Structure 1
Amino acid sequence: MSELKSINRFHFLKLNKRRQQVIAAAPTTPVNPGFPVGKLAAALHPQAQYVKISAIKEWGPDCKTFTLVPDRQRGTTKLAYFQAGSYISVRLQTDTANLVRPYSLSSRPRAALDGYYQITVKRVPNGIASNYLLDHCPVGTPLTISGPLGNFTYLPIRDAQIIIGVAGGSGITPFYSLAQAIADGDENCRLILLYGSRTVHDILFHAEFKQLTQRCDRVQVINVLSDEQRPGYENGFITADLIQKYAPTDEQYSIFMCGPQGLYRFMKQELRKLPLEQKWVRQEVQGEAHDPHDFTDYPTGTASKTVQLTVQINDHRQTITVPTNQTLLQSLERNGIAAPAHCRAGECGWCHSRLVSGRVFAPHQLDHRRAADREFHYLYLCCTYPLSDLTIEVPQPEI
């Protein structure tokens, strides 16, 4: 430590000038994309993938699983490999909006090597994207998607080898992918899954999980029904007591959660009852922000209901009227303006844009910007609300 304190920090400024000289003297020839490392990066992290819907499985009137395969006519011949728990973003162009929505991959990771992905979409009340996919995207529909993204994945260096999964509704999808990866030998962990549904008819992948658990003893599924009682099923809600009933008593475990925001709010209270450090708790992103008045730090006295938003994307400049109770990302999309986005919850930073002028509100619990972003007036479109007329610079979206 004493040696570190003796280092003259100004010495690094001289090194920085030397570095700039070396960069300036270097050739401008682009790196050969044919190098093996370049090919690998392009295969694992494509900016965009072009696919089409090859099959649809209906789980009822409000839920479908879409199978996506490469659209060779548009240039995609292979799909990027992914780790269980990843998601993809889907670009949707409706009659009135230009949308990007994230959907967890429900297929096994090996499916990518076999040439397909699967996403499972459940209808959301007043949800523009989910309703459009369910009602207007038949087999053969072309789609533009991102490469695999997200951090809701198992990492042995960080997570316990035993995972207690807590899922609700369509939050089952990343766990189904993980369960298949465990059964295939692609993940070296054990999954004990508590899955909350209203009735037995609302359970997604019910038969599929039964078949999987019969051939793999490292996956256990406990279905929890809130609205009915049946033999062989737990009744009520997923609570701390229920977790302790199935969790090991002599081994460390991690808790992974995925589901609606109501599930997270309820589990936040329940997990306080467990002798479990926060570092062992993981959850998928909370979902999209909606009414800003739901946040306790929203400034009072914001009387205006609409403001003028000027958007600069490269050389294109446009001014639109937007409501103050929608995020900037929602307002751009609903005015047909394509904006960069992936997680829609303030985590990934893909919608990173610059505030040129005006006042905005970013809820503290969703504001994951770096200190430098705040200092130099950068914001995340997905969790920022306008408070006055404003101007923003937005990057060109990749998908």
Structure 2
Amino acid sequence: MNIEEYLNQVEGYAEAARERQVLEQACGDLALPRDFAASVIGRLHPREIGVAVAEIHDETPTAKTFRLAALNGQLPPFRAGQYVNWSVTIGGVRTGRAFSIASPPHERGFYELTVRRQDGGFVSPYLLDEVRAGQTFTISGPGGTFYHEPLIDTDDLVFLAGGSGITPFRSLIRETVERNLPRRIWLIYGSRTPDDVIYKRELQAIARRHSSFKVRFVISDPPPGYRGPRGFITADRIRRFVGSPEGKTFYLCGPEQMYRFMEPELEKLSIPRRRIKRESCGPLSDVTREAGWPSDVSASRVFQVAVRGGTTFPAAAGEPLLNSLERNGFSVPSHCRSGECGFCRMKILSGRVFMPDRTAVRESDRCFNYVHACLTYPLSDLEIRL
């Protein structure tokens, strides 16, 4: 008995076969194209997206929110807390910076990115001073892991923000309250002055409307007569505001000095490490303060970097190789610029480099001298392969 004869004895097979013939005649070839999966993945997770600046809103004297809309089609979905890399060309240098998406995921027509001026920055002054509504740019697809994972994280969330580190929390907070998700959120937001607080009125309004969200602003350099909490986000302040840390998941996002201060404070609360989520904060302001940096190499010392098959250029020890490469005309793929995503991976052929401990390099890459250029610093003359 062949397979067809056997199947014809199965109850219902003959009827199903006839219906399939009818469908094939009516619809033609139902086979999926060979590249179907790749096309769906590319649509949901594109590497690059053309966008236009639809609106610009002033948030504080030093921060603006840019609303970006897709030039063609829809923007891909994302999870609250993720970021995109915004590519720009400044003075002939092609570069980019990662910005958290501040709008909630259910607002599908646009992404909102809030940019705060960085002292001595290269990109933020350009975005704040030069960009106008109507200009077009390229951004990456959403990335990052700084989001609520319901299978792992609890639903009682403590957000600890500093400066522009409030941006991913705005997306998480709005998603929670606007979709009525079963979460409770405590936000402690540290700023230097009251005028530096981003989204202050919006956050206060959300707290008034939703009992599941509570906010506390802490000002480190208050003006005379300021009556609110002042100083820094300490373990005692956290305990007084949120109560017991038991059963809560803690999220940190802010400048690197905030992390250096907060980590010992959280240790005082005996919070398990699995209950602490930390967003990567970009390049280091002073890599020479990192553990393991050699004392005989100053940040200003300059080395020569030779690119296999390319040119040789000077690079300062205190600057990430990615920045030096971009300044010298090399286009290097990058997204997070904080050692996490691996898009800027390259190989060190000869020479010594420094990578901070937090760089998320695979052990196999370390063995074969692959590094993430965004958090790799030269300690000698180098030869590299991009």
Please indicate the TM-score interval, normalised by the length of the shorter structure.
0.7 to 0.9
Match of 2:41 in 1: 41
CA displacement, residues 89-137 of structure 1 (integer Å, 9 cap, x when unaligned): 01111114221110011111112x2x11000000000100111111111
Kept after mapping to 1: 8 A contact 2:283/2:320 = no
Match of 1:391 in 2: 383
Going from structure 1 to structure 2, the CA distance change for 1:219 and 1:335 (only over 3 Å counts) comes to same
Check if 1:380 corresponds to 2:363: no
Structure 1 unaligned spans of 5+: 1-29, 395-399
Check if 1:307 corresponds to 2:303: yes
Match of 1:67 in 2: 67
Partners of 2:245 and 2:129 in 1: CA distance: 49
1:238 pairs with 233, 241, 246, which one?
233
The amino acid of 1:390's aligned partner reads L
Match of 1:296 in 2: 291
Q: Compute the TM-score of the two structures, normalised by the length of structure 1.
A: 0.83
The amino acid of 2:236's aligned partner reads D
Identity %: 37
**Displacement after TM superposition at 1:148 (Å):** 0.6
The amino acid of 2:34's aligned partner reads N
Match of 2:339 in 1: 346
Kept after mapping to 2: 8 A contact 1:289/1:382 = no
Kept after mapping to 2: 8 A contact 1:330/1:382 = yes
3-state secondary structure, aligned to 2:341: coil
Going from structure 1 to structure 2, the CA distance change for 1:335 and 1:31 (only over 3 Å counts) comes to farther
Match of 2:121 in 1: 127
**Displacement after TM superposition at 1:187 (Å):** 4.5
Check if 1:272 corresponds to 2:274: no
Shifted more, 49-58 versus 220-229: the winner is 220-229
Check if 1:261 corresponds to 2:241: no
Check if 1:87 corresponds to 2:120: no
Kept after mapping to 1: 8 A contact 2:164/2:254 = yes
Kept after mapping to 2: 8 A contact 1:196/1:225 = yes
Match of 2:159 in 1: 165
Q: Compute the TM-score of the two structures, normalised by the length of structure 2.
A: 0.85
Shifted more, 302-311 versus 120-129: the winner is 302-311
Partners of 1:188 and 1:43 in 2: CA distance: 31
**Displacement after TM superposition at 1:241 (Å):** 0.9
Kept after mapping to 2: 8 A contact 1:96/1:335 = no
Shifted more, 40-49 versus 241-250: the winner is 241-250
Size of the alignment, in residue pairs? Answer: 352
3-state secondary structure, aligned to 1:69: strand
**Displacement after TM superposition at 1:393 (Å):** 1.8
Kept after mapping to 2: 8 A contact 1:290/1:327 = no
Match of 1:185 in 2: 179
Partners of 2:193 and 2:291 in 1: CA distance: 35
The amino acid of 2:214's aligned partner reads Q
Check if 1:334 corresponds to 2:336: no
Match of 1:102 in 2: 98
3-state secondary structure, aligned to 1:317: coil
Kept after mapping to 2: 8 A contact 1:288/1:344 = yes
Going from structure 1 to structure 2, the CA distance change for 1:200 and 1:387 (only over 3 Å counts) comes to closer
CA displacement, residues 152-180 of structure 1 (integer Å, 9 cap, x when unaligned): 10011221110111111111111111111
**Displacement after TM superposition at 1:251 (Å):** 5.2
Structure 2 unaligned spans of 5+: 1-31
Partners of 1:188 and 1:44 in 2: CA distance: 27
**Displacement after TM superposition at 1:32 (Å):** 2.7
Going from structure 1 to structure 2, the CA distance change for 1:373 and 1:250 (only over 3 Å counts) comes to closer
Kept after mapping to 2: 8 A contact 1:193/1:221 = yes
**Displacement after TM superposition at 1:39 (Å):** 4.4
Q: Over aligned residue pairs, what C-alpha RMSD do you find?
A: 2.1
Partners of 1:362 and 1:31 in 2: CA distance: 44
Going from structure 1 to structure 2, the CA distance change for 1:105 and 1:355 (only over 3 Å counts) comes to same
CA displacement, residues 213-251 of structure 1 (integer Å, 9 cap, x when unaligned): 2333222111122233645x3232211111111224385
The amino acid of 1:247's aligned partner reads V
Match of 2:213 in 1: 219
The amino acid of 2:148's aligned partner reads Y
Kept after mapping to 2: 8 A contact 1:290/1:326 = no
Going from structure 1 to structure 2, the CA distance change for 1:186 and 1:148 (only over 3 Å counts) comes to farther
Partners of 2:69 and 2:154 in 1: CA distance: 34
Kept after mapping to 2: 8 A contact 1:332/1:338 = yes
CA displacement, residues 189-219 of structure 1 (integer Å, 9 cap, x when unaligned): 2211011123332221112112322333222
The amino acid of 1:55's aligned partner reads E
Partners of 1:187 and 1:357 in 2: CA distance: 52
CA displacement, residues 58-98 of structure 1 (integer Å, 9 cap, x when unaligned): 12332100000112xxxx31101111100000111111422
CA displacement, residues 305-352 of structure 1 (integer Å, 9 cap, x when unaligned): 32221225xxx6222222222221111122232211122221221211
Match of 2:12 in 1: none
Partners of 2:159 and 2:323 in 1: CA distance: 31
The amino acid of 2:177's aligned partner reads A
Match of 2:27 in 1: none
Partners of 2:279 and 2:245 in 1: CA distance: 27
Partners of 1:120 and 1:193 in 2: CA distance: 18
The amino acid of 1:391's aligned partner reads E
Partners of 2:145 and 2:180 in 1: CA distance: 17
